[in-house]
Amino acid sequence: MMLEQLRRVAYDLLLALVLLFVYGFELYKYLPAPLQLISVKILLVSLGFLHAHITRKLAFPAVDWELEEVNAKNLLVIALYVVFIYAYANAG
């Protein structure tokens, strides 16, 4: 189960780790300014998605996406992802 969840977020996790490495060791200084802006936005969105995914798994572990109609739990999960990613993308 844990490996399945890691596989679901593998690309975002890898992207976040690479960009954290770039910013942690100040390698971003060698990038042009527009690429720095894009890369920091990508980093923030990836971190927001990962944080939302972890929070979602802790708060709503059993969401059934196979339902014909949308229920409150499904809407809360969708709102959780949107709010976390939006907050991270706007840097706070």
Q: Tens digits of per-residue pLDDT, 12-37?
A: 999 999 999 999 999 999 999 999 99
Which DSSP state fits 46?
Answer: H
pLDDT value at residue 1: 75
Res 11 pLDDT > 70: yes
Instruction: Give the global pTM.
Output: 0.87
Alpha carbon distance 69, 73 (integer Å): 11
The 3-state DSSP class for residue 61 equals: coil
pLDDT of 65 above 90: no
